[in-house]
Structure 1
Amino acid sequence: MNSSIHPAFEKALVADGDIPWEKVDDKIQRKIMSFSNELMLVKVAFLQGGIGTMHKHPHLQISYVASGAFEVTIGDESRLLQAGDVYFVPSNVLHGAVCHEEGVLIDVFNPLREDFL
């Protein structure tokens, strides 16, 4: 999809209820809240047991644990993170998460994740 016609492209004021959830799998859904070519913010909701499989991408990523509890692995380091915690993923580093307690991650990417559009 061309980012210039996506409804969240450079949207300045965003009401959560205006953005529909996109099903990723049976335990994960996401919302692209707003983005430009250089930056993207995505809200990701997990049910307990949801798995963000190990993967890597060229984008920088920083994520905020808005609620719940997640075992996050970045490279060869793993840690249980809870509401209020943050993690940073450098470019092309293998990472993933397992949801231990239903919750929400707020993911920020630089540049935008074109594969999400």
Structure 2
Amino acid sequence: MTILAYVVAAIAEIAGCFAFWHVVRSGGSPLWLLPGVASLVLFAWALTLVEASVAGRAFAAYGGVYIIASLVWMWAAEGMRPDRWDITGGVICLAGAAIILFMPRALAH
């Protein structure tokens, strides 16, 4: 469930942010903001589905997923293929996210 929640969150966040980018930076119609806001609401809801003991850990691990999703977006939607440094950085961030979320830890608060 956690991986699916992160995938939904990443798609929703990128779509929502792109809607704002399109309006502000590309001169798109302000109507783009309506699905953009709805998408950002979906993003926030999806993060609540992540199986983590505290919100901050779920958000921190999401950062790695977001980086990979952003690179995929850059390639698929913007036509800019990630270079070896993009890929290397993304893999490192995803590894960090996995460590944050999945490594065993004490239950202390």
Q: What's the TM-score once normalised by structure 2's chain length? A: 0.24
Name whichever structure is richer in strand by fraction.
1
Greater C-alpha radius of gyration: 2
Name whichever structure is richer in helix by fraction.
2
Q: What's the TM-score once normalised by structure 1's chain length? A: 0.23
